[in-house]
């Protein structure tokens, strides 16, 4: 690292990993409930476990993005973060709001709106927290010496993400309109502005890891995020096929969302292309694994598995089944969890000065978590497709079908155990690095 | 490479502005013309709205789905009013012990009559929406050769 204040990123990553572990625990609670072991039902019924599982996902990813931004923005702007103290305040308040929300879910304190379960009074605290975060980032960026494309794209993603949170806070009497605007938040986040954050972090990593000229990388960054928005904004329509909105979404939503994989395909070509173009290889092989991995797995999980059920004729049958869970798991893992892992892998040697570049644990973390997640995706997929045929095509009762597909959830639990083992290795590596220190400050971390 | 960084930037901003403008126009048309008709907004009574509130306060979509949106752990409820009828729904909502058909437990809500009636009004209203053919009718018939 170049600036003292970049050390704050470490604490964001530590919190993110802690929340991830908790997320996985609640995932297991749901997995066991699905095979009939729901002993915790009285205290943690399925809807609580699910709200905690998905909300922790959102919170730990955002925590990871924030950590990445606190590292990237000073380095790109060539200026210390304007206030480290306020960044700590932001971190602690973020953790407090998150924990309050999660605890509240166990006491029926929530809003049953998928992914946006945080009750509205707490929403205002989230807004204050995010404003503080954005204030620190923007002030650093605009007082700094440089405003690079990478930094601007990352910041743009963060600002848009904050703005898009607002439509989700409005109350609507009509369930359809409620859902309509809920997707403005959820869809336009994950298939829109979060991809700007992903793109910004990916570009930063590629600049550092491959040594390819910044101008070339940033040019392709524009192309990728251009493809993302052009397909993804109207692609929101794939959530509007069957919720009481017009036929126009079936036509245009279908066409544009079928184009969404191109942005991810471009990201694969871009990442692998830059990796091969870079003449000097950075010794941090683990970071390269995760960086190339995120491009490939996001293309498969978000791009291809999304495409698999995005056409209206298919979606009429798969909508509201476990097929969505199949896509959701690999998409979030590939596009967002892996980029945070890539970033952590890249920065830990820089923050601590310990160069644990090629460890057995690091590789085990990568392969076990990925193979485990692919297995989980397959289990959800098989269960989902069977559900579609039995329930939607043949008209069997929901509960009977769930019994028939129960066996796939044993596979899910087995694969999830493998996944958790991988994540555990990653955390062990993280802990081995120890805390960040000022002795690790150097002029330039780009490959020599 | 022929493409310059500047033209890539124009592609991004131009593409974003054009598609976002289209999106806003489509959203406006949807909210003003389509949704009121398709959801029968004239039927949005105080009971239905109270039902929606209960639906949210108890995070029903954490297990169930409605209009295909929710948790995939419990049955899809868009057409439940037609399928099960009022009496059955009321019994489930007012059960003092977890309702558990085929072993999978629902939270015991033990609802009072007013809340249950509001929930039923909400589910009835949802069931009457025009959802472009969702949920689909089962369409498989056995083609196995039988003697009879």
CATH number assigned to the domain comprising residue B101: 1.10.760.10
Tokens of A267: 């990201």
Count: domains in chain B: 1
Assigned domain for B86 exists: yes
**Average of per-residue pLDDT values in chain A:** 96
Give the span between the Cα atoms of A195 and A425, in whole angstroms.
Answer: 27
Q: What angle (nearest 5°) sits at the alpha carbon of residue A422, between those of residues A416 and A425?
A: 145
Classify residue A151 as exposed, middle or buried by CB count within 10 Å of its CB (0-12, 13-18, 19+): buried
Count: domains in chain A: 1
Q: What is the pLDDT of residues A319-374, one digit of tens each?
A: 999 999 999 999 999 999 999 999 999 999 999 999 888 889 999 999 999 999 99
Assigned domain for B64 exists: yes
Assigned domain for B25 exists: no
Assigned domain for B122 exists: yes
Kindly state the average pLDDT of the residues B27-45: 97
Q: What angle (nearest 5°) sits at the alpha carbon of residue A135, between those of residues A157 and A143?
A: 95
Between chain A and chain B, the number of residue pairs with CB atoms below 8 A apart is 216
Assigned domain for B24 exists: no
Instruction: Specify the DSSP element, H or E, that contains A290.
Output: helix A285-298
Range of the domain at A5: 1-147
A244/B131 touch (CB, cutoff 8 Å), yes or no: yes
So what's the pLDDT on residue B142? 76
Using a CB-CB distance cutoff of 8 angstroms, which residues of chain A are in contact with residue B67? Answer: 175-176, 179, 242-244, 320
Assigned domain for A172 exists: no
Give the minimum alpha-carbon distance from B147 to chain A in angstroms, rounded to a whole number: 22
Choose the closest CB to A112 out of B27, B62, B104. B62
Assigned domain for B35 exists: no
A215/B44 touch (CB, cutoff 8 Å), yes or no: no
Assigned domain for A384 exists: no
So what's the pLDDT on residue A445? 63
Assigned domain for B145 exists: no
Assigned domain for B103 exists: yes
Give the span between the Cα atoms of B121 and A147, in whole angstroms.
Answer: 56
Kindly state the average pLDDT of the residues A126-141: 96
A222/B9 touch (CB, cutoff 8 Å), yes or no: yes
Range of the domain at B76: 41-135
Using a CB-CB distance cutoff of 8 angstroms, which residues of chain B are in contact with residue A247? Answer: 132
| Partner A contacted by B129 (CB < 8 A) | yes
Give the minimum alpha-carbon distance from A431 to chain B in angstroms, rounded to a whole number: 35
SS3 content of chain A, % helix, strand, coil (to 5): 80, 0, 20
Residues 51-110 in A contacting B (C-alpha not used; CB under 8 Å): 51, 105, 108, 110
Indicate the angle between helix axes A194-210 and A338-352, nearest 10 degrees. Answer: 40
Give the minimum alpha-carbon distance from B122 to chain A in angstroms, rounded to a whole number: 9
Assigned domain for A89 exists: yes
Which residue in A has a C-alpha nearest to residue B14's C-alpha?
A226
- What is this model's ipTM? 0.95
Give the span between the Cα atoms of B44 and A113, in whole angstroms.
Answer: 19
- Sequence-ordered list of residues with C-beta below 8 angstroms from that of A267, at least 6 positions apart, any chain: A199, A202, A224, A295, A298, A299
So what's the pLDDT on residue A98? 95
């Amino acid at each position: 690292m170049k600036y003292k204040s970049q050390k704050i990123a470490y604490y964001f990553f530590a919190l993110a990993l802690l929340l991830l572990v908790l997320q996985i625990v609640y995932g297991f609670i749901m997995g066991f409930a699905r095979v009939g072991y729901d002993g915790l039902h009285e205290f943690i019924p399925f809807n609580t476990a699910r709200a905690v599982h998905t909300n922790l996902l959102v919170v730990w990813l955002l925590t990871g993005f924030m950590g990445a931004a606190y590292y990237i923005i000073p380095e790109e702007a060539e200026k210390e973060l304007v206030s480290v103290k306020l960044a700590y305040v932001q971190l602690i308040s973020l953790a407090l709001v998150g924990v309050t929300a999660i605890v509240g879910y166990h006491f029926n304190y929530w809003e049953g709106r998928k992914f946006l379960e945080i009750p509205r009074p707490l929403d205002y605290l989230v807004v204050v927290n995010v404003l503080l975060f954005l204030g620190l980032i923007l002030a650093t960026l605009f007082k700094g010496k440089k405003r690079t494309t990478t930094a601007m794209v990352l910041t743009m993603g963060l600002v848009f993400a904050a703005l898009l949170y607002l439509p989700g806070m409005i109350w609507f009497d009509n369930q359809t309109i409620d859902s309509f605007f809920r997707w403005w938040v959820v869809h336009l986040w994950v298939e829109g502005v979060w991809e700007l954050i992903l793109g910004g972090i990916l570009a930063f990593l590629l600049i550092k890891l491959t040594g390819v000229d910044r101008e070339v990388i940033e040019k392709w960054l524009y192309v990728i995020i251009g493809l993302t928005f052009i397909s993804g904004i109207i692609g929101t329509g794939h959530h509007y096929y069957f919720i009481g909105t017009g036929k126009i979404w079936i036509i245009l939503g279908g066409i544009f969302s079928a184009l969404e994989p191109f942005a991810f395909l471009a990201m694969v070509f871009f990442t692998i292309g830059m990796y091969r173009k870079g003449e000097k290889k950075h010794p941090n092989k683990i970071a390269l694994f995760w960086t190339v991995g995120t491009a490939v797995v996001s293309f498969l999980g978000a791009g291809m598995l999304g495409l698999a059920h995005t056409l209206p004729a298919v979606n009429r049958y798969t909508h509201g089944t476990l097929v969505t869970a199949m896509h959701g798991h690999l998409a979030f893992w590939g596009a967002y969890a892996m980029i945070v892992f890539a970033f952590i892998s890249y920065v830990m040697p820089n923050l601590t000065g310990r160069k644990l570049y090629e460890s057995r644990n690091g590789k085990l973390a990568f392969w076990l978590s990925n193979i485990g997640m692919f297995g989980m995706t397959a289990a959800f997929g098989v269960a989902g497709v069977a559900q579609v045929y039995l329930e939607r095509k043949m008209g069997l009762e929901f509960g009977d079908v769930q019994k028939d597909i129960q066996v796939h959830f044993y596979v899910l639990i087995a694969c999830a155990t493998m996944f958790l083992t991988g994540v555990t290795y990653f955390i062990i590596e993280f802990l081995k690095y120890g805390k960040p220190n000022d002795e690790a400050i150097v002029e330039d971390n780009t490959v020599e | 490479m022929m493409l310059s960084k500047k033209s890539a930037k124009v592609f991004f901003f131009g593409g974003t502005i054009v598609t976002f403008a289209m999106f806003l126009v489509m959203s406006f048309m949807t909210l003003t013309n389509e949704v009121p008709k398709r959801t029968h907004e004239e039927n949005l009574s105080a009971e239905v709205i109270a039902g929606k509130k209960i639906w949210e306060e108890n995070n029903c979509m954490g297990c169930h789905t409605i209009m295909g949106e929710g948790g995939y752990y419990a049955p899809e409820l868009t057409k439940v009013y037609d399928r099960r009828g009022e009496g059955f729904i009321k019994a489930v909502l007012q059960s003092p012990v977890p309702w558990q058909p085929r072993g999978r437990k629902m939270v015991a809500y033990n609802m009072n009559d007013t809340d249950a009636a509001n929930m039923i009004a909400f589910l009835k209203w949802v069931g009457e929406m025009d959802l472009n053919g969702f949920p689909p009718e089962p369409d498989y018939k056995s083609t196995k050769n039988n003697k009879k």
